[in-house]
Structure 1
Amino acid sequence: METGNAQDLKEAFRRDGYVFLPGFLSPAEVGELNEQVNNFISGAVPAMPKELVFYEDKNDPATLKQLIDMQKFNAYFDVMLNNSKFKQIAEFLLDDVAIPKTLEYFNKPPKIGKPTPPHQDNYYFMLKPTEAVTMWLALEDVDAENGCVRYVTGSHRHGIRPHGRTQTLGFSQGITDFWNEDDQAKAVAFPAKPGDLLIHHSMTIHWAEANRTENRTRKAIGLIYWAESAKEDAEAKAAYQKKLHAETL
């Protein structure tokens, strides 16, 4: 990465709350990654704990929508999360040592892939300071029809918005006062090609629409890194868990 371009990238991340890196992986790298994902789904998923595997329809394996902590079950994904250019760019953007947290798989099956509700990751992470990044890597063509990622530009600079319970499996909390005039004015969508990478700050508002297509999936890999200086707020986490418990009574 050239020095000038690198500085521009960091400034854009701090200003907008996200950066878009087209072609972060080459076609050959994407091909290898897709092969590894397919092998993982057929080989490792049947033995994974059920709380790490989500389906749109539990009775239909073809509706697999999310896998969590893939790095714990496969050496390829362990290296991808812990010793790769993904971690390097996380440390560059965070200006800190990056602590790898998880590598996930996401899909929105055709016709039934539900929307991802608007949310801020730090509502779940509960970090002080709120320094963490989430990466989203397209494994195939993604556009408005099958659910591309969307952001509210600059939203990472305005604190945590109120969140409430949603009906979306894997994304239990969503922003309750979303789509005000500021959200509408600053919303941006990111159609992506295989190998394109999006990186956003843990406070950036983001969401994705449903997959409305008849026969196209929407597959992607997610990676999460916390800055070493970011510590979990134990008091906030306890309050959150109490709130979740009350909601399920």
Structure 2
Amino acid sequence: MVKVDDIVTPTFEQLAELPREVGFVPASNPSPKFLRPEQIEQYNDQGYVMPFYGLDEAESKELRAFFDGVLAAFIELGRDSYSISTAHLRFARIWDLVKHPNIVGPVCDLLGENVVAWGSHFFCKMPHDGKQVAWHQDSTYWPLSPTKTVTVWLAIDDADPENANMRFIPRSHLHGLIDYGKSEDDRDVLNMVVENPEQYGGDPVDVSLKAGQFSMHSDQLLHGSEGNDSDRRRCGLTIRYAAADVKTWYGWDQKGVLVRGSDPDGNWLNAPRPTH
């Protein structure tokens, strides 16, 4: 059994010392099974593609009820609505979800036939919570190489501009690792921020999704979200998928669960299904 809370999160100084290959790795797939060729082209050109239908109405309702119970339990333990991470190693329900064929199929069209799910994090903005996620690249924070992770953002609640949906900066994934500064804003969930993000791409794009739909974006793409000032909750589950040839440090191989194909180099633990 993986002890999730014992897995180390490296500092920025430690990450800087790693021999990481950082840069967008384009998808190359002449015979996609789920995506259209123009969707793969959009992912390569814009850094994202959406929307997709992952869960039907009954599945969405069941997942929302499951999350409501988990959130209540975490809050009772004194945690907040942003703290439910590595959920696929904590809950059998999420371990199963990261293998859902409606999600894994499109992901594999981008990453290839050998794919692991290594991250799963509920990002829940409660009504009027005021917290915002500053503009950032995911790969800034991860001890992985090469930077070949696709993030699925699966909507648990409907997400739109009113309740602070996520936003993308198109084409910002083509600039490598972008310089960032320390955030001094108490509202920021993250402690780092990229200033003037539009200089790295186009105008921000709203990631408006209905519950059960999902988007996919590159680990190099700038994204963020405003504070939720509405009366509605906005919850999504991020699932991080990587090609199995991606290497890790600081014990992050323990997070990986094989969802398609094989791991010929043994880079990932392929953690077993949780018992609860």
TM-score by length of 2: 0.70
Query: Within the alignment, does 1:72 sit opposite 2:89 as a pair?
Result: yes
SS in 1 for 2:240: strand
- Name the structure 1 match of 2:191: 172
Contact 1:17 1:154 in 2 (8 A): yes
Residue identity in the other structure for 2:219: S
Paired residue for 2:234, among 203, 210, 218?
A: 218
1:220 shift after superposition: 1.0
Aligned identity (percent) is 23
Task: Return the offset for 1:170.
Answer: 4.8
Count of matched residue pairs: 218
Q: Does 1:113 align with 2:143?
A: no
2:245 corresponding residue in structure 1 = 229
Name which of structure 1's ranges 67-76 and 162-171 shifts more when overlaid on structure 2: 162-171
- Decide which structure has greater strand share: 1
Distance (whole Å) between structure 1 residues aligned to residue 249 and residue 168 of structure 2? 25
Give me the whole-angstrom Cα distance separating, in 2, the residues matched to 1:4 and 1:39: 33
Change (3 A) 1:172 1:84: farther
**How far 1:94 sits from its partner (Å)?**
1.2
Q: Tell me the distance in 1 between the aligned counterparts of 2:168 and 2:210.
A: 18
- Taking the aligned partners of 1:222 and 1:101, their CA distance within structure 2 comes to 11
Q: In the alignment, is the contact (CA less than 8 A) between 1:137 and 1:195 conserved in 2?
A: yes
- 1:23 is aligned to 53
Contact 2:132–2:189, Cα closer than 8 Å, also in 1: no
SS in 2 for 1:145: helix
Q: Please state which structure has a larger fraction of its residues in helix.
A: 1
Deviations 1:34-91 (A, max 9, x none): 1221233345x3798x8xx5x2xxxxxxxx2341011222211111124643233322
- In 1, the alpha carbon distance for the partners of 2:99 and 2:54 equals 17
Match of residue 98, structure 2, among 53, 74, 81: 81
How large is the RMSD of aligned CA atoms in angstroms?
2.7
